[in-house]
Amino acid sequence: MRFLVLHGPNLNLLGTREPDVYGRATLADIDGGLAGLAGELGVSIESFQSNHEGALIDRIHAAAREGIAGILINPGAYTHTSIALRDALAAVAIPAVEVHLSNIHARESFRRRSHIAPVVVAQIAGFGAAGYGLALRGLVARLKG
Ligand code: DQA
């Protein structure tokens, strides 16, 4: 089973970007940890980061053609703005989990609304980098169970 991990805008700056909010783990740390966990779970992952909405949408479309079993997505600020990203996830109907490092419900009011949440299996927010591992475990368990 192959999983796609999608990282949205500004997440390439993790490690130095507002560390009090997002922690000190870099994107490479997160992807490396997930690859190790994927090995334990007997699945494989591929990661993709983009600061461009259309590139993320194109990657989701390609995932459908490639037979990707599940998607983990941290859409960054596109969470709160992108109906196009939501529509792409709905269109391919690949089970997805929305991940946020911070608890978006405990921050500014504009972060409380997610356009993505209604089209995903689950949302994990506030566990920092650990949230990605929880999301992968949850999605694998759901698809295998
Ligand atoms: C984020 C939360 C978003 O509101 C923000 O725009 C991000 C990161 C998170 O992981 O906590 O870029 O998705």
- CATH code of residue 129: 3.40.50.9100
Whether 132 is catalytic is no
The closest-lying atom of ligand 1 relative to the alpha carbon of residue 75 is: 13
pLDDT of the residue at 145: 84
pLDDT tens column, 68-85: 999 999 999 999 999 999
Give the Å distance between the CA of 145 and the centre of ligand 1.
30
Query: How many folded domains does the chain comprise?
Result: 1
**Active site residue: 22, 78, 115, 132, which one?**
22
Nearest atom in ligand 1 to the alpha carbon of residue 74 is 13
Domain hosting 28: range is 2-144
**pLDDT per residue over 47-62, tens digit each?**
999 999 999 999 999 9
pTM listed for this prediction: 0.97
pLDDT for res 73? 99
| Catalytic residue chosen out of the listed positions 78, 100, 115, 132 | 100
pLDDT < 70 stretches in the chain:
none
Q: Is residue 7 flagged as an active site residue? A: no
Question: What DSSP assignment string belongs to the chain?
Answer: -EEEEEE-TTGGGTTTSSHHHH-S--HHHHHHHHHHHHHHHT-EEEEEE-S-HHHHHHHHHHHHHHT--EEEEE-TTHHHH-HHHHHHHHHHT--EEEEESS-GGGS-GGGS--SSGGGSSEEEESSTTHHHHHHHHHHHHHHH-
